[in-house]
Amino acid sequence: MGFTVAIDGPAAAGKGTIARDIAGRFGLRHLDTGLLYRAVGALGGDPVAAARALAPEDLRRDDLRSLAAGQAASRVAAIPEVRAALVAFQRRFAREGLGAVLDGRDIGTVICPEAEVKLYVTASPEVRAHRRWLELGGDEAQVLAEVKERDARDMGRADAPLRPAADAVLIDTSAMSIGEAVELAAGVVEAALRRAGAG
């Protein structure tokens, strides 16, 4: 059974960058779970059938970051059968082969509560908005408003709200470089791998 690293946190905190680095460093597969709903939406047709038949190669499409894919994702994410199929996909992915790093919003709390490592990567809304603004441009005050609105939606939803698992290691990247955050995360993973090897 594979070794699972669950990385949760709000948008633009750095969790995707940390997840990719950790996966590469420790020879694990990486799943950006946010792409799942985008892939189902982009595949078109019956969303339930698409979710049940989803394959890892569907996540490599080059149109998944588009605005249209994002809008389609939010439509299909409201369908309970789609959510159930994608939860099953994530759990299978986490345990296949040597294991995997999954990043999202409910990995440590809902998808893989038994993960060997749980990290919650966060930063202040102002820092995250500034990072997003540097990446996308536009009006920084508007970006901050959108970040706060997304946080409120993610943290306030009834189904799988965004919150750290009780046993997650908190990494606040507000005053850290991405390199420092990655090294901190790698240290946590390394210690857990040593414990798993000794167990």
Residue 82 belongs to domain spanning: 34-97
pLDDT score, position 198: 65
Q: What is the mean pLDDT of the chain?
A: 91
Q: What is the pLDDT of residue 68?
A: 80
This model's pTM is above 0.85: yes
Q: Is the dihedral of CA 32, 33, 34, 40 positive or negative?
A: positive
Pick out the residues of the known binding site for ATP: 9-17
Name 188's Cβ contacts closer than 8 Å, sequence gap at least 6.
117, 119, 169
Clarify whether residues 106 and 136 are in a common domain.
Answer: yes
Q: Which of 5-19, 93-107, 142-156 has the lowest mean pLDDT?
A: 142-156
Highest mean pLDDT among 58-72, 78-92, 113-127: 113-127
Q: Are residues 93 and 183 in the same domain?
A: no
Residue 199 has pLDDT above 90, yes or no: no
Q: Are residues 151 and 105 in the same domain?
A: yes
Average pLDDT over residues 32-44: 91
Binding region: 9-17
The rounded distance, in Å, linking the Cα atoms of 116 and 40 is: 28
The whole-angstrom separation of Cα 21 and Cα 15 is 10
Q: Domain with 19 in it: what CATH number?
A: 3.40.50.300
Give the amino acid at 141. A
Do 108 and 196 sit in the same domain of this protein? Answer: yes
Q: Point out the domain boundary residue: 64, 97, 130.
A: 97
Span 44-74, pLDDT tens digits: 899 999 999 999 899 999 889 877 887 888 7
Contacts of 61 (CB under 8 A, 6+ apart): 39, 42
Bridge partners (DSSP) listed for residue 64: none
